Amino acid sequence: MIHKKLSIVAAIGLIAASAFLGTTPAHADEPRPEPPVVELVLDVSGSMKAADIGGETRMTVAKRAFDEVVDALPETTQLGIRVLGATYGGDDKKLGCKDTQQIVPVGPVNRVAAKNAIATLKPTGYTPIGLALREAAADLDGAGSARRIVLISDGEDTCTPPDPCTVARELAAAGTSLVVDTLGLTPDEKTRKQLVCISQATGGTYASAKSEEELTDRIKQLVGRAALPPPVTPAVVTGAKDCVTAPLLSAGVYTDRELIGEHRFYRVAVAEGDELRASVSIALDRPLNRDYGVLLKAATTDGRELVRGVDAGSGRADVLSTGLRWSGDAEPDLSARSDVCLIVSNSFASTTSAGAPGMPVELSIDLVAASDTPDAPGLGRGWLLLFVLAIAGLAAGVLAGWLTRWWVAKWGEN
C-alpha cells in the first residue's frame, strides 16, 4: 500500500449500564475508578526500517517512544504487549497478514521485562492493523473497565480485510468499551483519514507528530489521560421509534447509536417548578456528504413541540452538538408531573457505511430548579439598561441641537 505512518491507538473502557423501560427512570451509574489495563501494540513491519526521522529509523524512534510509555505507566497498571508484522518476512501475503503475536501477557506492569521484549524486535513484514486491533481487544476481554490499546505503527493497514476502521466500529457496537486515540508520525492524507476514522469510531482523538520530541509528548499526554478515571461514565440506553415506548430517563449521561437519517425517542419526567436541560453530541465517525445537521427536540407525548436545538455543518468535522432547556412552568396546562419526549434526529448522508452500527450518540440530561432567565433572546431584566440608554440618547440629542443652534447663530451670518 502507500507510504505508512506512525500512530498510537488508545482504548479507554466505558462502563455499560443498562437503562430500563417503564415508570422508573433509568439512571446513569456513578464512575467507578479502576486502575488502567493497557495493551501496547507495536508495528514491526518492514517499512519501519526507513531512516527518515532525524536520520534514525522509525523502529529506533518507536522503541524509545515505547520506553517513554512504559516508564510513565502508573504502578497499578496491568500491562500487555502485542506486535504485528514481526516474524514473517516472506512474500506470501496470506501468511504475512496473520502475523500478530502477544509477546507479554496482560498482568502487573514489569518495566524491565517489557523493555527487554521490545528491544529484540526487528522490522520484518506486513501491517495487519485491523487483525491486531481485534486480537488486542480479545487480549483485554474481562480485564476490567478502564482499558487501553496503544498502537504504534508507521502507517495504514496493508492487509484489508479486515479494515481497521470497520473493526473499530464493530468493537464499539459490540459494547467492548474501547476508546481509540490515534497519533500519526508525518502522516499523508490517506493514512490520516484512516487514523481519524479509527479514533472517531470509538469516541477517541487524532493527533500527528513530525519528530521524536512531538511523538514523545503526545504519548505522555495519552498515558496521562489513561491514568485518570473518566469524569462521567455514560450509561448505555437504546432509544425507541416513538415516544410511547421510549425509555424513561433521569438526570445523567447516556450513550446510544443512531443510524443515518434515523429518529431516536427518549422520555424525561419534568415536575412543576423544574427546568429540563439537555444536550446531544454525535461523533462523525465516517465520511459524510456535505451539508448535514443534528436536531434535538423536546415535545409533549402527543407530539406538540416545546423547544428545539439544532447544529449543522459542511465538510470535515469531528462532532456535532446542540442543546435545549425547557421549564415546566412554561406550560401551565400540563400536569404537575409531565413526561417530556426528547427526539434526536440527524440529516446525515453517506456514500459509504451508511448502515449499522450507527453513529455514536451521547445524551446529557439535567433537571434543575426553574430559572427566571428568558428561554429566548429578549430584554429579560435589562429594563434599567434600556432606561439609561434612552436618557443618554435624549441628552445627546439635546446637546447636539444646542450646539447646532449655537453654530448657526455664530457663523450663519458670515
Which pLDDT score is estimated for 23? 41
Q: Give the pLDDT confidence score for residue 141 in this predicted structure.
A: 83
Identify which of 96, 100, 89, 87 has the alpha carbon closest to the alpha carbon of residue 39: 100
Distance CA 82, CA 107 (A): 13
Tell me the residue type at 106.
V
Q: Report the first-to-last Cα separation within the chain, whole angstroms.
A: 88
- List the Cα angle 138/142/146 in 5-degree steps: 100
pTM of the model: 0.53
CB 47 within 8 A of CB 155: yes
Cell numbers 435589562: residue: 382
Residue 142, pLDDT score: 75
Structural domains of the chain in order of their starting residue, each with its CATH number: 37-226 (3.40.50.410), 237-369 (2.60.120.380)
All three cell numbers of 402, joined, read 444646542
Q: Which grid coordinates are listed for 128?
A: 495487519
| Contact assessment for residue 31 and residue 140, using Cβ atoms and an 8 Å cutoff | no
User: What is the C-alpha to C-alpha distance for residues 265 and 345, in angstroms, rounded to an integer?
Assistant: 9
How far apart CA 384 and CA 48 sit, in angstroms, is 69
Q: Which amino acid is it at 318?
A: D
Q: Along the 414 residues of the chain, how does pLDDT read in single tens digits?
A: 333 333 322 222 222 222 223 344 555 554 455 677 788 888 888 988 888 888 888 888 888 887 887 887 777 788 889 999 999 989 999 999 999 999 999 988 899 999 999 999 999 999 899 999 999 889 988 776 667 787 787 788 899 999 999 998 888 877 666 777 777 777 778 877 887 787 778 777 777 777 778 877 777 777 666 666 555 678 999 999 999 999 999 888 999 998 888 999 999 998 888 889 999 998 877 778 888 889 999 999 888 999 999 988 887 677 888 999 888 665 555 555 588 999 999 888 887 766 777 888 999 998 887 755 544 444 444 556 667 777 887 888 788 878 887 777 777 655
What are 207's strand-pairing partners?
A: 183
